[in-house]
Amino acid sequence: AAQRIAAKATSMAKPASKAELQPLVAVTMGSDSDLPVLKPGLALLETLGVPYFVTITSAHRTPARMTDFAANAASNGFKVIIAAAGGAAHLPGMIAASTALPVIGVPVKGSTLDGMDSLLSIVQMPRGVPVATVAINNSINAALLAARILGSNDVELRQKLEKYAKDMESEVLGKAEKLEG
Ligand code: RP5
C-alpha cells in the first residue's frame, strides 16, 4: 500500500501547472462524502501553486491504510497533512499519532450536531500529539495554514500569501466604502 500511495502521489498530484512537481501537501478525508467541504481548499492550493495529493483514508473503515499513509507520509515527500473528517472524527488525531509531520484537522459538519461532534473530536487531542484544528468546514483556512507552514521556507509562496491578505483587505475596504456611500 505504501508503494501504491507513493505512485499515486505522483500520478494524482494536482500542481497548478507543472505536473512533475512533488506533492508537498497530502490531503486526506474519512469518506468521499467529505470531498465537497474540501473542494474550496483544494482550489486554493491550486491557485497558490502548491502541489498536493488527495486521497481517502478512514480511521474506522480502513485503519491499516490510514496508518500506512501516515507512517510513510514523510518518506513520500509530503511536508504537511490536511485531514478532514466528520462525526467521531478520529482521522486527524490518529494520523498525527503516526507521523511527526504537521497535521491540520478540518472538522466536517455532519447531518446532526452541527459539526460540534467533529470539532471536539479533532481539537481535544491529548498532550503530546498536536493537531492544528481549523473551524468547522473551513478547508480554506486549512489550505492557507498549510501554505503558511510551507511558506516559512519559501519566499515566493509567502509573497503570494501576503497578496492574498492584501486582496482580502481591499475587498472589505471596497465594500465598506460602498456601504458608507
Ligand atoms: C466520517 O464519517 C467521515 O469523515 C464522514 O464525515 C462521516 C460520514 O461518512 P459517510 O457515512 O458519509 O461515508 O468517517
Which residues are CB-contacts of 121 (< 8 A; sequence separation ≥ 6)? 85, 87, 88, 89, 90, 93, 107
User: What is the rounded distance in angstroms from the CA atom of residue 135 to the CA atom of residue 118?
Assistant: 10
- Taking residue 180's Cβ as centre, other Cβ atoms within 10 Å add up to 6
More confident residue, 10 or 4: 4
pLDDT at 20: 65
CA distances to 12, 57, 140, 148, 173 from 105, rounded to whole Å, are 21, 14, 12, 15, 31
C-beta of residue 114 within 8 angstroms of C-beta of residue 106: no
In the chain, the percentage of residues whose pLDDT exceeds 90 is: 88
**Domain ranges for the chain:** 2-153
Single-letter amino acid, residue 122: I
pLDDT at 19: 52
More confident residue, 19 or 111: 111
| Ligand 1 centre distance from Cα of residue 89 (Å) | 8
Which atom of ligand 1 is found nearest the CA of 61? Answer: 14
Please give the mean pLDDT across all residues of the chain: 92
User: What is the rounded distance in angstroms from the CA atom of residue 48 to the CA atom of residue 97?
Assistant: 29
Which residues are CB-contacts of 151 (< 8 A; sequence separation ≥ 6)? 157, 158, 160, 161
pLDDT at 165 over 60: yes
Which atom of ligand 1 is found nearest the CA of 86? Answer: 6
Which whole number is the average pLDDT over 166-171? 98
pLDDT at 5 over 80: no
For residue 134 and ligand 1, the question of a CB distance below 6 A is answered with no
Between 3.30.70.100, 3.40.50.1970, 3.40.50.1580, 3.60.20.10, what CATH number should domain 2-153 receive?
Answer: 3.40.50.1970
Q: How large is the ipTM?
A: 0.98
| Ligand 1 centre distance from Cα of residue 3 (Å) | 26
Which atom of ligand 1 is found nearest the CA of 58? Answer: 14
User: What is the rounded distance in angstroms from the CA atom of residue 50 to the CA atom of residue 161?
Assistant: 12
Show the cell assigned to 51.
Answer: 502541489
